[in-house]
Structure formats: structure tokens, C-alpha cells
Amino acid sequence: MAEYLPLLLFVTVCLLLLVGYPVAFTLGGVALLFAFGGVLSGHFDPLYLEALPNRMFGIMTNETLVAVPLFVFMGVMLERSRVAEHLLDSMSLLFGALRGGLGISVVLVGTLLAASTGIVGATVVTLGLLALPTMLRRRYDPAVAAGTICAAGTLGQIIPPSIILVLLGDVLTNAYQQAQLQMGNWAPKSVSVADLFLGAVIPGLLLVAAYLLYLIALAWLRPQQLPPLAAAERQQRGWALGLRVAKALLPPLLLMLAVLGSILGGVATPTEAASVGAVGALLLAALHRQLTLERLREVLRQTTLITSMVFLILIGASLFSLVFRGYGGDQLVARLLSDLPGGVFSAVLLVMLLMFLLGFILDFIEITFVVVPIVAPVLLMMGLDPIWLGIMIAINLQTSFLTPPFGFALFYLRGVAPASLRTIEIYRGVAPFIAIQIGVLILLALWPQLITWLPGLVYKG
């Protein structure tokens, strides 16, 4: 019975989180209670807890994690500076003459916001506030409108510079080195955030292309569900329209190229590029005349709150993983996954299914810090590519956040949607996009080169 205590620890944490207790305190508090009980019963060695100060010091001195508050600042500043509003208005005018043009505009703006902010909740809420009333007013099918906004808003999970890829990069680095050391490789290779950014480029573009193709096909098959803008709403044409689109599109595009280009080109580390993004977001806000002292205070306050939440969860997760390993949880997981019939395929399928279900009750931060360190070393010891595994996890969680009835993106949109939009319509609208996500996951599983080719090409060159 004692060997299953780590599973009981994991289930207890999930149940308490489902009830609604704060994540960081639940992780740390439950772990301490189990450790205390284990010391009294003789099943837990208290020496494991002596590693906690070193882990906390490692968190504080981790240069990769410095990118988190900088990227958060960039995302929050862009959200507050009406960049999305200008983008959506301009793109709507550009594609407004086409059936489905507004839906196409929402996907493209969602892509640009994902590449500029990397914050899923903020993107879904922003698009929901800006685009949903317009789409409903222009007689878009409510389900199509809701599904498009939710899907476009979750692109921040996979399109660099995604916060989840920054966090996954740090966790997978440790897991990959741990797996290699356990296999007897005393000069382990490493995986970086830049590797994951490169690996995410083709899958991210595939998702965007699939979304656009679906909307174009739907507009062709069911034109009444995605009507074009009325002629009176498309007054600007020619040079005037081109200039307006350029003014709205070029600044965030240049910011995205500066951040991603410096990382992918090897000019800057993700942390250095994040500082470029933060300064660029300030300049963009000033360009849109939205940079006031009050707004700067608001952005700094929000950035501090989000960053504090991330690092507090990371500390709680560190304590949880120490107690989990102290009970032999890592060895139990290794045995369970290794003994599955079907080998690596069954192990990956089971882990992906578990993460998909946990995505209903846990945010990506908790899953990244709690679940990935437990299962990733075992999977990597089976010979999986760490970049492939990281991107598959990110897209899998993105799919989970879209899936009814518990998907986080659905809750975000429900919170800002008018009462006239029924919840069942939101569920119906995201169904085709969930099918697209699953299709892309299968494609990436069958052809891992879609993920690993670009990193290999860059580093080979």
C-alpha cells in the first residue's frame, strides 16, 4: 500500500484544486502534510526536504525564467494599448468584401497577438470584447463566431514567444539532463527555449493555415453563416486602406520579428529578446498614444501579480516534486509506463491523455511544473526527442483548453460574451477547431520531422 502513496498525493492535490483552493498553497501544503505523515509513519526520509533551499535559490538565479516577467509585461502592455483594436479594424476592412472575411481577420489578428503577447487568457478576452459583438451584429452564426475567437485566442499556447514554451523549455532541460544521466551519459546534451521556439514554428503555421482553410470552406459551403461586410462599411479603398493597414500591421509585426528574429537567429537569448519586446511594447503604446502614467502603473501591477503567481506555483511545485520523489513516485511512474503493452506508443498516448484531462482542472503552469517533471524523464529515457515532446505537450494542452465543458478558453469567452450567446453555441462552435487540433497532433505524431526539421536545419547550418 505504501508504494501507492505518491499516487494518493497526486490525486489529493487534483481534488483540492478542483474544489477551488489556491494552486501554490495546495501544492506546498498537501506535500508538507504528506511529508509530515510519512516521517511519523517511517515511510518518508526528511532529508529530501533539505534540498528545498537549493531549489528555491536555483529558481531565483535561473536566467531563463527572467524572461517570464518581461514577456508578461510585453503582453499586458500590448493588451492595454489598443493594438488589437487597431489591427482588427484594419484587417476587417481589408478582408471585409469576402465571405468569412471577418473570421479570417480574427484568426490573423489572433496569430499576431499570439506572436506578440503569448498570453492565452488575455487574447481570448480581448478578441471576445472587440470582435464578438461586431461578428454578431453583422449576422455571423453565433457558434462560428464563438469558435473562431476561442481557437484564435489559444494560438498563444504554441506560437512563439509563448509563455508555456519558455516554462517548458526550462523544465524539459532539467528532465532531459536527468534522463541522460540515468542512462549513463555523463556529458548530457541540453535543450533550450530557442529549440522549442524553432520547433513550434511549422506546427503553429499549420494550425493557422488549417483554421483559415476551414473558414474559407465554410464560407463557400454555407455563405449565410459568414456574410461579408455591407458596402457602406467598406468606405476606405486603395491607397487609403493600404496606408491604414500598414500603420496598424507594421509596428506589431516589426516587434514580433525583432523578438523572434533575435532568438532564432542566435543574436540574443530569450531573456535578452524579452527585454527588447518589453521596450518595444512601451514604444508601441506611445505610438498609439496610450502610454500614460496610470496605464503604466496598471500594467506593472498586473505584471507583478502574474509573475508572482507563476513563481509561487513554481516553489510549491518544487516542494511537491521533492515529496513525490521521496515516496518513490518517480520510480513508480517509470514502472507503470515501462510495463504498458505497446511500449513507447502506449506510454506517450497515456501521458497525453492524462495531460488532456488534467487541462480541464489545471492551468498550463501547474501542469508544466507538476506533471511534466514526473513523466518527461521516463519518456525521454525511451528515446523520444525532447523538442518533439515539448511541442506535442503544448498543442495537446491547447486542445484541452478548447474542449467542453471545462476548457479554459470557453470560460474566458463566456465571461465577456453577451447573455444572448448560449453556452451550447460556444461548445458547438469550437468542435470543428478541436477536430483540426487533433488532426494536427496526429500529423505531428506520424511525421515528427515537422517539429524537428527546423531546429536541426538551423543548428546544422
Of the candidates 132, 120, 106, the one whose C-alpha atom is nearest the C-alpha of residue 75 is 120
pLDDT, position 119? 62
Q: What is the mean pLDDT of residues 430-451?
A: 94
**Amino acid, res. 350:** L
pLDDT at 438 exceeding the cut of 90: yes
Q: What is the mean pLDDT of residues 367-387?
A: 87
pLDDT tens-place string over residues 184-204: 777 677 788 888 988 999 999
Q: What is the mean pLDDT of residues 419-427?
A: 87
Q: In the chain, pLDDT over 90 holds for what percent of residues?
A: 15
Kindly state the DSSP code that residue 118 receives in the 8-state scheme. -
pLDDT at 354 exceeding the cut of 80: yes
pLDDT at 232 exceeding the cut of 50: no
pLDDT at 443 exceeding the cut of 70: yes
Of the candidates 271, 302, 360, the one whose C-alpha atom is nearest the C-alpha of residue 67 is 271
CB 436 within 8 A of CB 214: yes
Lowest-confidence region among 117-131, 234-248, 392-406? 234-248
Of the candidates 358, 327, 323, the one whose C-alpha atom is nearest the C-alpha of residue 11 is 358
pLDDT, position 205? 93
The winner for highest mean pLDDT among 51-65, 377-391, 411-425 is 377-391
402, 406, 409, 413 alpha-carbon torsion, rounded to 10°: 120
Distance CA 29, CA 66 (A): 26
pLDDT, position 453? 92
pLDDT, position 165? 86
Of the candidates 230, 158, 172, the one whose C-alpha atom is nearest the C-alpha of residue 201 is 158
Q: Which residue has the higher pLDDT, 461 or 275?
A: 275
Distance CA 271, CA 278 (A): 11
pLDDT, position 447? 94
pLDDT, position 121? 65
What does each C-alpha distance from 247 to 9, 242, 243, 250 come to in angstroms?
54, 9, 6, 6
pLDDT, the chain, mean: 83
pTM of the model: 0.83
pLDDT tens-place string over residues 78-112: 777 777 777 777 777 777 677 888 889 889 888 88
pLDDT tens-place string over residues 247-262: 777 888 888 788 878 8
Domain extents in the chain: 65-318+334-460
* Number of Cα atoms under 13 Å in the Cβ half of residue 255: 30
pLDDT, position 105? 87
Q: What is the mean pLDDT of residues 111-120?
A: 70
The winner for highest mean pLDDT among 131-140, 284-293, 319-328, 388-397 is 388-397
pLDDT tens-place string over residues 1-57: 667 788 888 888 878 877 777 777 888 888 899 988 888 888 888 888 888 888 788
pLDDT, position 44? 83
